[in-house]
């Protein structure tokens, strides 16, 4: 297939060695009736040109809010960026004018959402919608814009693309609609594609086809991809690097192979145990992580995972660990991309990660504190603990 555009031509890593996207200490809050929701709490990461980065974590951990903040698409007035910087290809996105930001969205950074119907206009043909995107960003005439639309639909594997320009979104199956939305995201040859749960609404076979499509088109166009999902299984075969989020923090990051082979953060250990592993015969029972994420309006002083963590030690209850080399008490700065980092005072060993529990029947600090409280209450009441 001919390349209709080539993001790789100018999307190489910047001459100063910088990344395509640099996010530093990003913080986002929402005002709500129950108080301030601390949705993103000092997130720092990079995306290199052409890279496939996975962002995983349970529902509500801040995956979507992080990407919406990058694109300045937070719902207003509730959502607010309260700190940090976002630099894309050398441009400070948080201080970019509104018009320049609109032009950047779609042309340089595009997003694919879970539900295509939220991005496609139900009363306009897909041909019109694609042409509109091209003409909003270029001076191309209608015929040329239509030609680009046809080529992009062919790129995403839509059969009979020319004829289908006249169809409305409801005339496509779910999988085909998702292809149209991917075409819409790709039509301007963006350097970065943010795919937020792009396959959750689809059945399993179509899911695999769409993931494969995203990987293939990213390769063909040179776009970097940030793939957001709550499913570690999805990112396993697709990404080069993974970031695990919990309660608005990045709690672990490593290359995909390293993270699967040597998870260090107890939350990652739990996530890994909650998916079936083909290399283990696929027969293992799925183990949901017990407990619930913290209330983001009242974040604890210590590690936000402590109430659910069997590895918790006393320090975990009072100090939130920085993202650093596993076992180090210092935050990691200036380390090479792909370096394995975890935010944990008492990371799991390989044996513990395999077993899914700490060695020697360790009682977590939270459990120990609970037992102590129960014993004290029993003593105060004059009953045997
Ligand atoms: N408009 C809003 N008002 C108040 N809180 C919000 C709003 N939007 C998001 N949040 C809160 O921000 C936190 C992070 O939400 P986010 O949508 O990023 O989660 P997520 O990781 O994408 O989850 P999911 O896997 O369910 O998509 C959640 O606790 C959520 O309740
Ligand atoms: S061991 Fe401590 S710091 Fe590490 S995840 Fe558990 S509670 Fe958090
Ligand atoms: Mg989300």
Look-up: residue for tokens 């032009």? Answer: 103
- Give the Å distance between the CA of 248 and the centre of ligand 1: 10
Query: CB of 348 within 8 A of CB of 263?
Result: yes
Pocket test for ligand 2, best of 266, 293, 310, 320 (most atoms within 8 A of CB): 266
For the chain, the domains span: 7-239, 249-381
DSSP tag of 302: S
Residue 371 — very low, low, confident or very high, per pLDDT cuts 50/70/90?
A: low
Rounded Cα distance, 195 and 215, in Å: 11
Average pLDDT, the chain: 87
Q: Which residue has the higher pLDDT, 8 or 220?
A: 220
Q: Which ligand is nearest to the CA of 345?
A: 2
Compute, in degrees rounded to 10, the torsion defined by CA atoms 54, 12, 192, 89.
Answer: 110
- In this prediction, residue 284 has a pLDDT band, given cuts at 50, 70 and 90, of very low
Pocket of ligand 1 (CB under 6 A): 30, 32, 37, 39, 57, 59-65, 75, 78-79, 230, 296
Q: How do residues 285-319 score in pLDDT, each as one tens digit?
A: 456 688 889 999 999 999 999 999 999 999 999 99
Count Cα atoms within 13 angstroms, Cβ side, for 318: 3
Distance, in Å, from the CA atom of 349 to the CA atom of 101, rounded to the nearest integer, reads 45
Segment 2-13 mean pLDDT: 37
Q: Strands 52-56, 241-246: parallel, antiparallel or unpaired by DSSP?
A: parallel
CA angle 381, 382, 385 (to 5 degrees): 90
Any idea which residue has 């200490």 for tokens? 25
In this predicted model, what pLDDT tens digit does every residue of 177-195 receive, in sequence order? 989 999 999 999 999 999 9
* Length of the chain, in residues: 385
pLDDT higher than 50, residue 84: yes
* Distance in angstroms (rounded) separating the CA atoms of residues 9 and 304: 43
Secondary structure (3-state) at 283: coil
Residue 344, strand partner residues: none
pLDDT for 216-225, tens place per residue? Answer: 889 988 999 9
126/274 Cα distance (integer angstroms):
39
Grouping H, G, I as helix, E, B as strand and the rest as coil, residue 69 is: helix
Pick the CATH number of 7-239 from 3.40.50.300, 3.30.1330.10, 3.40.47.10, 1.10.1240.10: 3.40.50.300
Q: Looking at the predicted structure, is the pLDDT value of residue 366 above 70?
A: no
Residues in CB range of 103: below 8 A, 6 or more apart: 137
């Amino acid at each position: 297939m001919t390349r209709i555009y080539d993001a790789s031509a100018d999307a190489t890593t910047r001459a100063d060695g910088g990344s395509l996207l640099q996010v530093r200490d990003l913080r986002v809050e929402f005002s709500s009736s129950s108080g301030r929701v601390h949705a993103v709490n000092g997130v720092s990461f990079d995306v290199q040109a052409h890279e496939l980065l996975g962002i995983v974590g349970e529902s509500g951990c801040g995956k979507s809010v992080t990407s919406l903040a990058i694109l300045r698409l937070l719902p207003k007035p509730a959502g607010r960026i309260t700190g940090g910087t976002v630099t894309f290809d050398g441009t400070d996105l948080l201080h970019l004018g509104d018009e320049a930001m609109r032009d950047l969205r779609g042309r340089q950074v595009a997003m694919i959402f879970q539900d295509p119907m939220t991005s496609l206009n139900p009363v306009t043909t897909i041909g019109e919608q694609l042409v509109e995107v091209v003409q909003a960003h270029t001076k191309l005439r209608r015929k040329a814009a239509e030609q680009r639309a046809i080529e992009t639909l062919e790129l995403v594997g839509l059969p009979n693309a020319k004829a289908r320009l006249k169809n409305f979104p409801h005339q496509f199956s779910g999988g085909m609609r998702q292809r149209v939305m991917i075409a819409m995201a790709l039509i301007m040859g963006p350097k970065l594609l943010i795919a937020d749960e792009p396959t959750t609404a689809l059945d399993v076979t179509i899911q695999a086809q769409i993931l494969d499509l995203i990987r293939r088109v990213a390769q063909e166009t040179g776009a970097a991809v940030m793939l957001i999902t709550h499913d570690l299984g999805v990112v396993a075969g697709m990404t080069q690097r993974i970031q695990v989020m919990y309660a608005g923090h990045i709690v672990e990051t490593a290359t995909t192979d390293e993270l699967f082979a040597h998870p260090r953060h107890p939350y990652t250990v739990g996530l890994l145990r909650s998916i079936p592993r083909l290399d283990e015969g696929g027969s293992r029972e799925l183990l949901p992580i017990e407990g619930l994420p913290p209330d983001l309006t009242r974040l604890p002083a210590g590690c936000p995972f402590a109430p659910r963590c069997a590895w918790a030690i006393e320090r975990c209850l009072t100090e939130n660990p920085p993202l650093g080399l596993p076992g180090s008490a210092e935050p990691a700065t200036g380390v090479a991309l792909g370096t394995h980092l975890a935010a944990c005072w008492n990371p799991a060993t390989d044996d513990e990660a395999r077993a899914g529990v700490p060695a020697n029947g360790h009682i977590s600090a939270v459990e120990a504190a609970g037992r102590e409280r129960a014993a004290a209450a029993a003593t105060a009441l004059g009953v045997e603990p």
